[in-house]
Amino acid sequence: MALRDVFLSLALSLSAPAFAQEGVTVSVRCTETCTVVFDGKRGRRVNEALWEFQGITPGARRVEATGVLGRPLASGFADIPDTALATVYLVSNQRIVVRKESTTSPGTPEWVEGTARVAPGGTEKTPSPPPPPPSTAKSVALVRCLEACTVMLDERRGTRRDERTWEFRDVEPGKRRVEGTADLLNRKLFASYVDVPAGTEATYQGDSKGRVILTKHRALADVEEARTQAGLADASRLHVRCLKSCDVTLDGARKGEEGGSGGLIQDVKPGRRELAVTFTLGKQQRRMTLDVPSRSEVFITASEGGGLQVTNTKRLGAE
């Protein structure tokens, strides 16, 4: 080939228009934080609940989605139409709804147009109802540090369960800011955002790299059911605060960490209980017999001079 032919071929290739990518661009929407695999491939995460896949061939394509900690959300087939854009909605009860991104009659709800399938072997349904709105049920968040710490969630203090664990009740679901500060030298341990699932008891662990990781979560209904089965439906909680470093025992059993500042004693059955506090320096001990009411929170302050004093009692869940 002559040299001029090479330059001519190169000029033509540079001036030729680029062709648009073939296939359908598919957006997959979940009702919560999710990870999606579409037709065996991972796409691009747009946000916590939205994924995008490009170059998808029209037809039945398999969709698999998991939630937090790999919890299965949906698994089945989506019928992808022969259009430029399509949106797949992962709804409750394993339903998968597909909607074409095309014009519809004015006033027509976007959910009217489309098809739906359940897992393989199910029947098609059209039209499909909209997905249920995200749950707004409040949650309980437990945040643990690697050492004695103070934790704030959305700039509010919770309840110290022990030297390393803090509890926050009535937490709104969604992204929440959590900060942890070491009790020793007031060092910053972590400052991050966490996703709080709705209606759950969620446990988070702060690590040595300043991250806060969700380690487990359970529906609050399941937590209450487990408590009922364990005979703790009427149990109460004791909040013990020592003015100096102390060890706490209830009915002879140690509660909390040695040499701490008190903390939260959970699942205390109602009735007469023997509470004792031994101060670390001097080993002075203060004791009291406590009549614990059912389903209540009892607040107790311990000091060497004043002994043990009940400062407040309220029903569980009361503001």
DSSP H or E segment with residue 286:
strand 285-292
Give the separation between CA 130 and CA 282, rounded to whole angstroms.
Answer: 67
Each residue's pLDDT, cut to its tens digit, for the chain (319 residues) gives 554 554 444 444 444 343 345 788 888 888 788 889 988 888 888 888 888 998 888 888 888 888 877 777 888 888 888 888 888 888 755 567 777 664 333 343 444 444 444 444 444 444 555 555 667 889 999 999 999 999 999 999 999 988 899 999 999 999 999 999 999 999 999 999 999 988 999 999 999 999 999 999 899 988 888 888 999 989 999 999 999 999 999 999 999 888 888 889 999 999 999 999 999 988 999 999 999 999 999 999 999 999 999 999 999 876 5
**Radius of gyration of the chain from Cα atoms?**
29
What's CA 189's distance to the chain center, in Å? 20
Q: Determine if the pTM surpasses 0.95.
A: no
Is residue 27 within 8 A of residue 88, CB to CB? The reply is yes
Instruction: Report the candidate in 89, 168, 102, 164 with the shortest Cα–Cα distance to residue 130.
Output: 89
Q: Is the peptide bond before 127 cis (omega within 30 degrees of 0)?
A: yes
In the DSSP assignment, the letter for residue 91 is -
Is residue 92 within 8 A of residue 86, CB to CB? The reply is no
Neighbour count for residue 26 (Cβ, 10 Å): 25
Give the separation between CA 125 and CA 235, rounded to whole angstroms.
Answer: 48
